């Protein structure tokens, strides 16, 4: 990892920390600090992540710690930044403007189904603003699997489809599982129309290309005082030019210091 990137990121974080200590008396200063920290620090983190992706070999999961951490940066003053990655392709796609034909119909039905019957508190997981329409069965919530099944088969067939998709997800989680982007064999015994089977197969994967990135800056002692993240297309990361900040990142946002997820 280039030393200049590490120094630049460390410098941005240190400046943000110093400004934070001095700026508590003014709301205007606080807003300027927040804007500085989000723009410069997040930009530096995106470059670091893109560089790490260039160096990673094999499936993304094989490069992560047990808790999903990709790497950690140790900064001066006892500060650190942990970068986590997790399957981010389980949600139903909300932006269907680039889709056509039957795939667009299925994706729009899935979005409407989740919005109608899903838990709004879980929309950050069950809905996804960008990426392909294909969903990862390994991380898709049950409501998303129900939405896909309901879009493709008769009402009395939905349960058997959902059960099969859950079985695929469980198989995927087993140690030593060999990744396959199209697990058709697991759907072959379903008593559904062949066209519906093909539609379902075309809408699922067990090898996601969209990952959720979560960056956590920790103060001395481990307290999280800054979090940011977004969705990243890891497939494009390995083919686009290094340091192309806009390329692989589909979304990026500031997150609450203490999020609802385990990180």
Which SS3 state, helix, strand or coil, does residue 81 take? strand
Residues 37 and 138 in one domain: no
Instruction: Determine, yes or no, domain membership for 187.
Output: yes
Residues 213 and 83 in one domain: yes
Q: Give tens-digit pLDDT for 20-78.
A: 655 555 666 556 655 655 555 667 778 888 888 888 788 888 889 989 999 998 888 88
Q: Residue 11's pLDDT is what?
A: 59
* CATH number reported for the structural domain that contains residue 50 in this entry: 3.30.1300
pLDDT band (50, 70, 90) for residue 191: confident
Residues 98 and 22 in one domain: no
Q: Residue 19's pLDDT is what?
A: 58
> Which ranges in 56-141 belong to alpha helices (H)?
101-117, 123-126
Q: Per the structure block, which two tokens stand in for 85? A: 């990655």
Beta bridge partners of 135: 204
Residue range of the domain that includes 178: 92-205
Rounded to an integer, what distance in angstroms lies between the CA atom of residue 21 and that of residue 77? 14
Instruction: Determine, yes or no, domain membership for 76.
Output: yes
Q: Residue 245's pLDDT is what?
A: 42
Instruction: Determine, yes or no, domain membership for 260.
Output: no
Residues listed for the chain: 263
Residues 168 and 99 in one domain: yes
Residues 99 and 171 in one domain: yes
Task: Please name which of 197, 138, 140 lies closest in space to residue 168, comparing C-alpha atoms.
Answer: 138
Residues 101 and 151 in one domain: yes
Residues 110 and 156 in one domain: yes
Residues 181 and 113 in one domain: yes
Q: Residue 184's pLDDT is what?
A: 46
For tokens 């650190």, name the residue. 80
Q: Residue 48's pLDDT is what?
A: 83
Residues 78 and 98 in one domain: no
Q: Residue 260's pLDDT is what?
A: 45
Q: At what angle do helices 142-152 and 194-202 cross, to 10 degrees?
A: 140
Instruction: Determine, yes or no, domain membership for 110.
Output: yes
Residues 197 and 251 in one domain: no
> Both ends of the chain: CA-CA distance in Å?
24
Residues 73 and 96 in one domain: no
Residues 176 and 139 in one domain: yes
Give counts: helices (H), strands (E), the chain.
9, 9
At which of 186, 205, 224 does a domain end? 205
Q: Give tens-digit pLDDT for 133-188.
A: 999 999 999 999 999 999 999 999 999 999 999 998 888 776 655 555 445 446 88
Number of domains into which the chain is organized: 2
At which of 189, 205, 221 does a domain end? 205
């Amino acid at each position: 990892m280039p030393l200049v990137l590490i120094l630049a990121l460390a410098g941005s974080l240190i400046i943000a920390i110093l400004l934070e200590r001095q700026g508590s008396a003014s709301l205007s200063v606080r807003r300027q600090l927040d804007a500085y920290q989000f723009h410069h620090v997040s930009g530096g983190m995106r470059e670091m992540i893109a560089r790490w992706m260039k160096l990673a070999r094999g499936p993304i999961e094989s490069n992560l710690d047990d808790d999903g951490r990709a790497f950690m940066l140790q900064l001066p003053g006892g500060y650190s930044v942990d970068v986590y990655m997790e399957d981010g392709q389980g949600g139903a796609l909300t932006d269907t403007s680039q889709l056509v034909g039957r795939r667009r119909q299925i994706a729009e039905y899935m979005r409407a189904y989740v919005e109608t019957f899903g838990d709004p508190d879980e929309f950050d997981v069950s809905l996804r603003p960008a990426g392909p329409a294909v969903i990862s069965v390994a991380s898709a919530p049950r409501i998303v699997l129900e939405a896909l099944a309901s879009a493709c088969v008769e009402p009395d067939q939905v349960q058997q489809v959902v059960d099969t998709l859950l079985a695929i997800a469980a198989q995927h989680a087993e140690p030593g599982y060999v990744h396959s982007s199209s697990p058709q064999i697991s759907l072959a015994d379903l008593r559904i129309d062949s066209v519906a089977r093909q539609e379902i197969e075309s809408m699922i994967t067990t090898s996601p290309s969209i990952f959720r990135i979560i960056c956590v800056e920790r103060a001395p002692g481990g307290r999280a005082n800054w979090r940011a993240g977004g969705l990243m297309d890891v497939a494009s990361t390995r083919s686009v030019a290094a340091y192309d900040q806009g390329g692989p990142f589909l979304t990026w946002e500031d997150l609450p210091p203490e999020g609802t997820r385990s990180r």
